[in-house]
Amino acid sequence: MALDYRWLQDTVRDRFDSDDAMEAFLPRPLTPDQLKQLGDDRYLSAISLRVFRAGMKHSVVDAKWPAFEEAFWGFDPETMVLLTPEQIDGYMNNERIIRHRTKMQTIPRNAQFILDIRQEQGTSFGEFIADWPSHDIIGLWRLLARRGARLGGRSAAGFLRLVGKDTFLLTSDVVARLVAAGIVDQAPTSQRDKQRVQDAFNELQQASGRPLCQLSAMLSLTINPRF
């Protein structure tokens, strides 16, 4: 069963007082040029922020993130890849940051991931992210989960949303709408089901011209109006 964009547009529009109010509410991704302009230190910072947010109250992690930026020298990948176990042990005494050893150990691993992509592609990590096509965003999720550290589950999409790369999110509300539409039977975990979801989003995007992040938000609003 396909999702009908006209129904989606009309249903969501009814939640708002005006077209302008609806458009102001919907998220907007960065352009490819803007993504390319972000330094690779910003991508490593965002990956690390997403890792530390997992299983924790986001506002608590966000409040401490300036201290992380200072403690980890701005997350420069070429510096972070050299972090030793002894240095990570030292961070366990820093009361200004969240002292989670396992999550801290992902920082040099993800720095290496970024440097590997740079070497393989001959471009910055930002260019690699920017050039990945939205019609196969689940392919980018898969690559991040396979090669990055602790970027499985919802973390890959969460990281991409943090940096402004266009992606949909499989929140409980989005999944509920996809199940109601017959796209999947439950939260998609298999690659087959994720491809069905990607195909559904691709059809909505072709019908609307909207980015994936807006379509994701609109699907969510059909379940939870948030007003």
Q: SS3 for 4?
A: coil
pLDDT per residue over 22-50, tens digit each? 999 999 999 999 999 999 999 999 999 99
Alpha helix (H) residue ranges in 72-211: 77-80, 85-91, 101-104, 106-121, 125-131, 137-147, 155-163, 172-180, 191-208
pLDDT per residue over 161-186, tens digit each? 999 999 999 999 999 999 999 999 99
pLDDT per residue over 81-120, tens digit each? 999 999 999 999 999 999 999 999 999 999 999 999 999 9
Q: Considering only CA atoms, which of 196, 187, 162, 192 is closest in space to residue 58? A: 162
Structure tokens belonging to residue 98: 């969240």
Give per-residue burial for 73-99: e unless 16+ CB within 10 Å, then b. eebebeebbebeeeeeeebeeeeebbe
DSSP label of 188:
-
User: Could you tell me the pTM of the whole model?
Assistant: 0.96
The pLDDT value recorded for residue 2 is 75
Q: What is the CATH number of domain 33-163?
A: 1.10.340.30
Whole-angstrom distance, CA of residue 76 vs CA of residue 67:
15
Work out the pLDDT band at 1, boundaries 50, 70, 90.
low
Q: Are 212 and 137 in contact (CB under 8 A)?
A: yes
Residue ranges, comma separated, of all CATH 1.10.340.30 domains in the chain are 33-163
Whole-angstrom distance, CA of residue 160 vs CA of residue 50:
9
